[in-house]
Amino acid sequence: MPDIATPLTGMSPGIILVIILAVIIEMGLAIWALLDLFRREHVRGNKKIIWVLVILLCSTIGPIIYFLVGRSDGPTVDSSKIDDDEWS
């Protein structure tokens, strides 16, 4: 009976390293895109929830689409100027 608990044992270490790097890059792009999205006052289409779904559901291409199409040239929110009482 095959050992289901260790599916990566048959793969070469180089392939495993490429997979790990791809996952790290994909997660980094998604986090970077989400942080940028939430810091912006305006995005193209004015629907941030749509861009969140694009970024999260379209894997690696979602954040790239956001950076190429979704970002508007408008101002970002400066976190140092946010009044904490305003958000309470």
pLDDT of 86 reads 45
- Mean pLDDT, the chain, integer: 80
Task: Give 11-22 pLDDT, tens digit per residue.
Answer: 788 888 999 999
Task: Give 2-56 pLDDT, tens digit per residue.
Answer: 555 566 667 788 888 999 999 999 999 999 999 999 998 888 877 889 999 999 9
Pairwise CA distance, residues 17 & 27, whole Å: 15
Pairwise CA distance, residues 52 & 37, whole Å: 8
Over range 73-80, report the average pLDDT: 57
> Taking the mean position of all CA atoms in its chain, how far away is CA 86?
28
Two structure tokens written together for 36:
């940028």
Which of 1 and 64 is assigned the larger pLDDT?
Answer: 64
For residue 64, give every residue at least 6 positions away whose Cβ sits within 8 Å of its Cβ, in sequence order, or none.
29
Q: What angle do CA 26, 35, 21 make, to 5 degrees?
A: 20
